[in-house]
Structure 1
Amino acid sequence: MSKVLRDKYEDLELTPGQGKISAAMSIGIGILSLFGAFCFLLPELFTTPDFRGFYNADVLRVALQISIAIGFGFGLYSMMKHRTMKYGLTGMLLATIAALVGSGRIEAPDIDTRNLYVGLDYFILTLLVLALVFIPLERAFPKVKEQKVLRKGWVTDIKYFMFSHLGIQLISFFTIIPIQVFLHQVTTWEFQKAIAAQPLLLQFIEILLVVDFGTYWIHRAMHEIPALWKIHAVHHSTEHMDWLASSRLHVFEILANRFAGYLPIFVLGFAPSALYAYLVFVSFHAIFIHANVKFRFPVLRWVLATPEFHHWHHSSEEAAIDKNYAGFLPLYDWLFGTTYMPKQLASQYGTVSDDIPDGIVGQFLYPFKSWFGKSTN
């Protein structure tokens, strides 16, 4: 079975009573447990430096052991219920390997990371926190009631979520960080000190205004320039809006957005506390506006982008195409004539074209398929 076909099979909706959900839970928890075990084995390589001082190793080790047991149990149940045993066995194998790695019996190799790290702990914590917040929220206030948590395409979006939290760290280390160092050397320190001396709330608002102005035009260019649209179309390929859908971004789009956001922040020299507040806000907000929730926010929706506002951007209905580009501030769409906010809620998503592959590999190659003279399907 080809990689693309495997992705398509995995992206089918999961229904209860067939052992598929328990298999998914077993494999998912097994992977997270294995990542957690690696954090214990090589903390200097796999944990985030800023987080290390807050961890209680004894408590986390107990949590790791519990997650291993749960993953193993789901795998055992899946073996009894699923028509094939391989998925349950895979989850049980992952849990077993995690137990071996996390037990301390495997000696860690001597690795000089030289400040390069992959924040597995950040990925695990982010995924758990967001799942605990948004899954109950979407169940309690669903816009589309019949949409399942493990809906079609969820496997692909989980892969995007993992890549955006792990792979991009490595890419940033070799691209964005050198640019940050260069900008720090060429910018005027007195000017940056004046910016950083402003009230934090004012700095936060300025960051939103400056960053969203740049990302508005990059976003608009990705819709209106055909070559760039092929990259951005990956994000619009999802036909189901929920908290995971926000992660479906082509790597080139992630890098473009990071450059657009980081450059003005580095040049202007905002205070770290204002920057951290912005990063926390944007991390939550980007996921919230994709969520499967029915909140309308009658007044706020004209001040700050809401799920209603952004869902219309993802709509494939003709009147909504190429509208609502702003990530945070609808002000820019109003100024440049791209606002669309009818009385009803959006109900149809995806792209007008149906030629975008389902799997993450095919979607990565999709913008370049004309180079190869054939479809990436």
Structure 2
Amino acid sequence: MSKLLRQHFEDREIKKGSGQVSAFIALSLGILATLAALCFLFPNLLTTPDFRPLYNANILRGLLFASVIIGFVSGVISLLRNPSKRWGMAGMLLNAFAALLASGQIEPNYYDRSMYAGLDYFILTLLISALVFIPMERFYAKYKAQKLLRSGWVTDIKYFMFSHLGIQLLSFFTIIPAQILFNQWLNPTWHQMVSGQPLVLQFIEILIIVDFFSYWIHRSMHKVPSLWRIHAVHHSSHHMDWLAASRVHVFELIVNRFVGYIPLLFMGFSPAATYAYLVFISFHAIFIHANVRFRFPYFRWVLATPEFHHWHHSSEKEAWDKNFAAFLPIYDVIFKTAHLPDHLPKKYGTTANTKIPEGFVAQLVYPLQNKQRKNN
């Protein structure tokens, strides 16, 4: 299915009135509506416990049926306009299937369950991100010729899904080991003092502390060959947009979250400040990868901007090993790795010496294969 999507949508000229846009809308809404209906049917298995108290079943049910109607109508339009009938038909069938699932009992019935998939987190994050960043990239595009469905978007969607559905798996390899290793050295008195500070102050402290660790982890990923083989996957995209932020190897996710969680654990920040930080970094990471032309002449030295991070992803020689900070460019200034010239980068991706395969699975096994070849 993903291969057919790539062949039909990636790097193809989308013409007005051709039915391709309506086919994409029908397929996208059909998939999301089906997943949402499954969340209603199996809430204990598929939804995130922390989010459940925030949900209003009536509103969500109304949104679900509205999405099904829009998706089905889009499929009909594509069927009438697109010479390739299969995508419009597939969209109609997916939305009809979602409607069939939702026609039964979809009132959520929660009970305690330790294991869950977090499918609702994936749906909400993808939907909100798409609604915010797709229009932003259309109206304020840095590269106007870059297509919405550019090459590699299917691979990046898979990364997006994996990183959001694998919350428990990532926690098992990051938060739990950190707690086991360092719990004996935690200071309750210190924690109480830190968590009693104003939330805004805690939020700023988290940014300063975590970004210091992130800077050196990121820099090590570029300098240590075995780590670069992992991190190079993130740099393999030749296009920068909101989806490019998702292309991160699972080993890198584990390392970043494990090391990033350690200072949070020791400092004892309040849950509210930690959640605010997590929400901020989720959308900030997407924003700095987005295909937007915002430059922020003065603010760009205070907080990392798309211009700042795009230079980090550039394959041009002047940009190699520059701009490692995730949030605070001051660290790059202090450690002499900052690079923000007046002009914008033109090329992205890894250098000619690093060849990254295409596809989600091939990129997951790439670091191991590369190591094996070196040892042979």
The alignment's TM-score, normalised by the length of structure 2, stands at 0.90
Distance 2:202 2:9 in 1: 42
67-76 vs 358-367, which deviates more?
Answer: 67-76
In structure 1, the residue matched to 2:276 is 277
Aligned to 2:314: 315
Q: How many residues matched?
A: 370
TM-superposed CA distance for 1:338, in Å, is: 0.8
Q: Which amino acid aligns with 2:65?
A: Q
Q: Which stretches in structure 1 are left out of the alignment for 5+ residues?
A: none
| Residue deviations 1:124-171 (CA, integer Å, cap 9, x gap) | 22122222221222222221122222222222212211111112x131
Shift of 1:6: 5.4
Q: 2:68 maps to which residue?
A: 68
CA contact (8 A) 1:289 1:310 kept: yes
Match of 1:287 in 2: 286
User: Is the Cα contact below 8 Å between 2:57 and 2:107 reproduced in 1?
Assistant: no
Q: Residues 45 and 116 of structure 1 are in contact (CA less than 8 Å); yes or no, is this contact kept in structure 2?
A: yes
Task: Give the corresponding residue for 1:41.
Answer: 41
* Range with bigger deviation, 23-32 or 331-340: 23-32
Opposite residue 33 of structure 2, the aligned amino acid is S
Is residue 194 of structure 1 aligned with residue 193 of structure 2? yes
Partner deviation per Cα, 1:37-91 (whole Å, 9 max, x = no partner): 0111011222222222222212211211121222223333334444443333332
Number of the residue aligned with 2:223: 224
Which residue of the partner structure matches residue 13 of structure 1? 11
**Amino acid in structure 1 at the alignment position of 2:366:** Y
Instruction: State the match for 2:58 in structure 1.
Output: 58
Higher mean displacement: 239-248 or 23-32: 23-32
Residue in 2 that maps onto 1:363 = 363
- For 1:243, the equivalent position in structure 2 comes to 242
**Which residue identity is paired with 1:160?**
Y
Conservation of the 8 A alpha-carbon contact between 1:291 and 1:307: yes
Change (3 A) 1:225 1:320: same
1:156–1:195: structure 2 CA closer, same or farther, 3 Å change rule?
Answer: same
> What is the Cα-based RMSD across aligned positions, in Å?
2.6
1:45–1:113 Cα contact (<8 Å) kept: no
- Amino acid aligned to 1:94: L
Give the TM-score normalised by the residue count of structure 1: 0.90
- The separation in 2 between residues aligned to 1:65 and 1:308, in whole angstroms, is 40
1:88 and 2:72 aligned: no
Please state whether the residue corresponding to 1:258 is helix, strand or coil. helix
Q: Tell me if structure 1 keeps the 8 A contact 2:290–2:306.
A: yes
Give me the whole-angstrom Cα distance separating, in 2, the residues matched to 1:126 and 1:106. Answer: 22
Kept in 2: contact 1:8–1:359 (CA 8 A): no
The letter of the residue matching 2:232 is: A
SS of corresponding position for 1:104: coil
1:123–1:162: 8 Å Cα contact kept in structure 2? yes
Tell whether the 8 Å contact from 1:11 to 1:153 is kept in structure 2 after alignment: no
SS at match of 2:128: helix
Of 151, 176, 179 in structure 1, the residue corresponding to residue 177 of structure 2 is 179
Is the 1:223–1:229 contact (alpha carbons within 8 Å) kept by the matching residues of 2? yes
Call closer, same or farther: CA 1:85–1:345 in 2, change over 3 Å.
same
Letter in 2 for 1:228: L
Q: Which residue of 2 aligns with 1:301?
A: 300
Counterparts of 1:23-38 in structure 2 under 5 Å? 23-38=23-38
* Cα distance in 2 between the residues matched to 1:318 and 1:7: 34
Deviation at 1:340, TM superposition (A): 0.9
Residue 116 (structure 2) pairs with residue 117 (structure 1): yes
Q: Does 1:340 align with 2:369?
A: no
1:250-302 CA-partner distances (Å, limit 9, x unpaired): 11111111112111101211112221221122112111111111111111111
1:188 to 1:212, Cα distance in 2 relative to 1, 3 A: same
Contact 1:100 1:106 in 2 (8 A): no
User: Which stretch of structure 1 is more off in the superposition, 309-318 or 67-76?
Assistant: 67-76
Bigger drift between 47-56 and 365-374 goes to 365-374
Is 1:30–1:98's contact at 8 Å kept on the other side of the alignment? yes
| Cα deviation code 1:66-120 (max 9, x no counterpart) | 2122222333333444444333333233223222222226999x99873222222
Distance in 1, Cα, partners of 2:265 & 2:8:
41
SS of 1:49 mapped into structure 2: coil
C-alpha distance in 1, partners of 2:359/2:365? 10
Tell me if structure 2 keeps the 8 A contact 1:220–1:325. yes
* Cα pair 2:40 2:107 within 8 Å, conserved: no
Name the CA distance, whole Å, in 2 between partners of 1:124 and 1:369.
Answer: 33
Aligned residue in 1 for 2:168: 170
